[in-house]
Amino acid sequence: MQTPTSMPFADVISSIAVLHQALLDMRSDQERRFQAIIQAQQEDRERFRSWMDREVRAEAAAQQTPPTHLPLNKMGAQDDPEAFLDLFEKTAETCGWPREQWLVRLIPLLSGEAQVAAQQLPVQNLLVFNDLKRAIIQRVGRSPEQHRQRFRSLDLGKSGRTFVMAQQLRDSCRKWLLAEGSDVEHIIDCVVLEQFITRLPKKTAEHVANGYWLREATSSTSSTGWY
């Protein structure tokens, strides 16, 4: 038979056990809540990082993607054909146009003698951008000899703009010596020929110069089959 004093002690033990279990359950619940908060924060960080990555990639793509169109005016009578064609090439490269589309975009921009040069070009050459460019320059552009003469005759002029004259000298020299993608030997030949001709009697010099440039023009024309 249990003594009266033993019941309260048992109740105390039972109460302590219940309280301990409650504390364990509370701790477990707190740990679950804490883990849920950590998981939510991790998911938020991942979403933020993913969003930032998308923004960075989008910004980089926007910076790297070339514009699809830059305005180009039709060639005018006062335009330098070589400068016009150089500008067209740079525009086409900047916009990332496929090279096979260049001719379709260029031909409508031509006018006057440049348009005639395109019209008279055989179809097989008309489909090649470099051939069309060469035909236009040969018809309406300066020849290497004309660029040489311009290089030798340029002066500062009334404007006194030294930087402009330096740029013009460089441009004329390049188009004289580097015509048709000249190599080093051809450049040497051009300079030597110029100095050789200047030391000849005037009539002989004219004959040699005219014969040389005629041969150069004929060679360039026959290489692309323009007849």
Sign (positive or negative) of CA dihedral 170, 172, 174, 176: negative
pLDDT 10s digits, 53-109: 777 776 666 555 555 566 678 888 777 888 888 888 888 888 888 888 888 888 888
168 lies in the same domain as 199: yes
- Neighbour count for residue 84 (Cβ, 10 Å): 22
> In this model, does residue 219 exceed pLDDT 80?
no
Instruction: Give the structural domain span for 78.
Output: 71-141
pLDDT score, position 138: 80
135 lies in the same domain as 93: yes
47 lies in the same domain as 37: yes
CB contact at 8 A, 125 and 224: yes
Pick the last residue of a domain from 112, 141, 170: 141
State the average pLDDT for the chain.
Answer: 76
Pick the last residue of a domain from 123, 141, 159: 141
CB contact at 8 A, 129 and 98: no
37 lies in the same domain as 101: no
- Neighbour count for residue 122 (Cβ, 10 Å): 13
**In this structure, is residue 6 part of a structural domain?**
no
State how many domains the chain has. Answer: 3
pLDDT 10s digits, 115-160: 888 888 888 887 888 888 888 888 877 777 777 888 888 887 765 7
CB contact at 8 A, 81 and 136: yes
104 versus 222: the higher-pLDDT residue is 104
152 lies in the same domain as 216: yes
**In this structure, is residue 1 part of a structural domain?**
no
| Model confidence band, residue 227 (pLDDT cutoffs 50, 70, 90) | very low
